[in-house]
Amino acid sequence: MRALVQRVARARVVVDKRVAGQIGRGLVVLLGVGRDDGLRQVEWTAAKVAGLRVFTDAQGKMSLSAADVGGAFLVVSQFTLYGSVRRGLRPEFVGAAPPEEAERLYGAFVERLRGKGHTVETGVFRAHMEVELVNDGPVTLYIDSDEVKEHGI
Protein backbone atom coordinates (compact mmCIF):
# COMPACT_ATOMS: atom_id res chain seq x y z
CA MET A 1 0.00 0.00 0.00
CA ARG A 2 1.35 3.40 -0.93
CA ALA A 3 0.31 6.76 0.44
CA LEU A 4 1.45 10.16 -0.69
CA VAL A 5 0.53 12.45 2.21
CA GLN A 6 0.43 16.23 2.04
CA ARG A 7 -0.15 18.62 4.91
CA VAL A 8 -2.71 21.14 3.70
CA ALA A 9 -4.37 24.37 4.74
CA ARG A 10 -7.42 23.23 2.77
CA ALA A 11 -8.33 20.78 0.02
CA ARG A 12 -11.23 19.48 -1.99
CA VAL A 13 -12.14 16.92 -4.63
CA VAL A 14 -14.51 17.81 -7.46
CA VAL A 15 -16.30 15.16 -9.55
CA ASP A 16 -18.63 16.18 -12.38
CA LYS A 17 -18.47 19.82 -11.23
CA ARG A 18 -19.68 18.89 -7.72
CA VAL A 19 -17.63 18.83 -4.54
CA ALA A 20 -17.29 15.21 -3.45
CA GLY A 21 -15.21 15.93 -0.35
CA GLN A 22 -13.43 18.84 1.25
CA ILE A 23 -11.44 19.66 4.36
CA GLY A 24 -9.79 22.59 6.03
CA ARG A 25 -6.52 22.06 7.86
CA GLY A 26 -5.38 18.46 7.69
CA LEU A 27 -3.84 15.81 5.48
CA VAL A 28 -4.57 14.82 1.91
CA VAL A 29 -3.83 11.13 1.42
CA LEU A 30 -3.40 9.89 -2.14
CA LEU A 31 -3.75 6.13 -1.59
CA GLY A 32 -2.68 3.34 -3.91
CA VAL A 33 -3.40 -0.34 -3.28
CA GLY A 34 -0.93 -2.93 -4.47
CA ARG A 35 -1.61 -6.37 -5.90
CA ASP A 36 -0.27 -8.13 -2.78
CA ASP A 37 -1.88 -5.86 -0.19
CA GLY A 38 -4.36 -7.02 2.43
CA LEU A 39 -5.83 -5.95 5.75
CA ARG A 40 -2.44 -6.03 7.48
CA GLN A 41 -1.17 -3.35 5.11
CA VAL A 42 -4.38 -1.36 5.63
CA GLU A 43 -3.93 -1.46 9.41
CA TRP A 44 -0.25 -0.51 9.28
CA THR A 45 -0.67 2.29 6.75
CA ALA A 46 -3.73 3.77 8.46
CA ALA A 47 -1.94 3.78 11.83
CA LYS A 48 1.14 5.38 10.28
CA VAL A 49 -0.87 8.08 8.48
CA ALA A 50 -3.05 8.84 11.51
CA GLY A 51 -0.05 9.16 13.79
CA LEU A 52 2.13 11.33 11.56
CA ARG A 53 3.52 14.22 13.56
CA VAL A 54 3.79 16.83 10.84
CA PHE A 55 2.03 19.81 12.39
CA THR A 56 4.07 22.39 14.27
CA ASP A 57 3.92 22.99 17.99
CA ALA A 58 4.43 26.31 19.83
CA GLN A 59 8.20 25.99 19.35
CA GLY A 60 7.84 25.52 15.59
CA LYS A 61 8.77 21.81 15.63
CA MET A 62 6.79 19.20 13.74
CA SER A 63 5.57 17.22 16.74
CA LEU A 64 1.77 17.26 16.50
CA SER A 65 -0.57 14.88 14.66
CA ALA A 66 -3.71 15.79 12.77
CA ALA A 67 -5.77 14.76 15.80
CA ASP A 68 -3.71 17.07 18.02
CA VAL A 69 -4.60 20.09 15.87
CA GLY A 70 -8.20 19.16 15.03
CA GLY A 71 -7.22 18.34 11.45
CA ALA A 72 -9.16 16.18 9.02
CA PHE A 73 -8.21 13.72 6.28
CA LEU A 74 -9.12 13.78 2.60
CA VAL A 75 -8.43 10.31 1.16
CA VAL A 76 -8.28 9.98 -2.62
CA SER A 77 -7.80 6.69 -4.49
CA GLN A 78 -4.66 6.85 -6.63
CA PHE A 79 -3.80 3.64 -8.48
CA THR A 80 -1.17 5.53 -10.47
CA LEU A 81 1.11 5.37 -7.41
CA TYR A 82 1.78 1.86 -8.72
CA GLY A 83 2.68 3.10 -12.19
CA SER A 84 6.05 2.02 -13.48
CA VAL A 85 8.00 3.70 -16.27
CA ARG A 86 11.02 1.44 -16.04
CA ARG A 87 10.51 0.39 -19.65
CA GLY A 88 9.57 3.34 -21.81
CA LEU A 89 7.49 6.42 -21.16
CA ARG A 90 4.00 4.95 -20.97
CA PRO A 91 3.25 3.78 -17.42
CA GLU A 92 2.42 0.16 -16.68
CA PHE A 93 0.21 -0.62 -13.70
CA VAL A 94 0.87 -4.33 -13.18
CA GLY A 95 1.66 -3.74 -9.50
CA ALA A 96 -1.74 -2.18 -8.76
CA ALA A 97 -4.51 -4.29 -7.24
CA PRO A 98 -7.52 -5.18 -9.42
CA PRO A 99 -10.20 -2.47 -9.08
CA GLU A 100 -12.65 -4.50 -6.97
CA GLU A 101 -9.97 -5.49 -4.44
CA ALA A 102 -8.49 -1.99 -4.43
CA GLU A 103 -11.89 -0.47 -3.70
CA ARG A 104 -12.46 -2.90 -0.82
CA LEU A 105 -9.10 -2.11 0.79
CA TYR A 106 -9.44 1.63 0.11
CA GLY A 107 -12.78 1.51 1.93
CA ALA A 108 -11.21 -0.42 4.80
CA PHE A 109 -8.47 2.24 5.09
CA VAL A 110 -11.06 5.03 5.27
CA GLU A 111 -13.05 3.10 7.89
CA ARG A 112 -9.91 2.51 10.01
CA LEU A 113 -9.32 6.26 10.16
CA ARG A 114 -12.97 6.96 10.94
CA GLY A 115 -12.99 4.22 13.56
CA LYS A 116 -10.23 6.05 15.40
CA GLY A 117 -12.47 9.13 15.60
CA HIS A 118 -10.95 11.11 12.73
CA THR A 119 -12.95 13.27 10.34
CA VAL A 120 -12.45 11.73 6.90
CA GLU A 121 -13.67 12.96 3.54
CA THR A 122 -13.10 11.06 0.29
CA GLY A 123 -13.06 11.34 -3.44
CA VAL A 124 -15.06 8.95 -5.63
CA PHE A 125 -13.42 5.62 -6.39
CA ARG A 126 -12.72 5.06 -10.14
CA ALA A 127 -14.02 8.53 -11.06
CA HIS A 128 -12.16 11.28 -12.86
CA MET A 129 -11.41 13.73 -10.06
CA GLU A 130 -10.06 17.24 -9.82
CA VAL A 131 -8.05 17.50 -6.61
CA GLU A 132 -7.43 21.03 -5.40
CA LEU A 133 -5.20 21.71 -2.41
CA VAL A 134 -3.11 24.30 -0.70
CA ASN A 135 -0.01 22.47 0.49
CA ASP A 136 1.03 23.89 3.86
CA GLY A 137 4.80 24.08 4.15
CA PRO A 138 5.09 22.38 1.75
CA VAL A 139 5.09 19.07 3.60
CA THR A 140 4.81 15.92 1.50
CA LEU A 141 5.66 12.38 2.63
CA TYR A 142 5.69 9.06 0.81
CA ILE A 143 4.73 5.94 2.79
CA ASP A 144 5.12 2.46 1.30
CA SER A 145 4.14 -0.66 3.26
CA ASP A 146 6.43 -2.70 0.97
CA GLU A 147 9.38 -1.10 2.76
CA VAL A 148 8.45 -2.89 5.98
CA LYS A 149 7.02 -6.19 4.71
CA GLU A 150 10.22 -7.99 5.65
CA HIS A 151 9.50 -6.99 9.26
CA GLY A 152 6.24 -8.89 9.42
CA ILE A 153 3.35 -6.72 8.33
Distance of CA 55 to the CA centre of its chain: 17
Query: Of 6, 41, 78, 122, which one is the catalytic site residue?
Result: 78
- Distance from C-alpha of 73 to C-alpha of 78, rounded to nearest angstrom: 15
Beta bridge partners of 8: 26, 135
Distances (CA, A) of 116 to 38, 63, 120: 19, 19, 10
Asked if 59 is an active-site residue, the reply is no
Asked if 80 is an active-site residue, the reply is yes
Asked if 78 is an active-site residue, the reply is yes
Query: Of 55, 73, 79, 109, which one is the catalytic site residue?
Result: 79
Residues belonging to the active site: 78-80
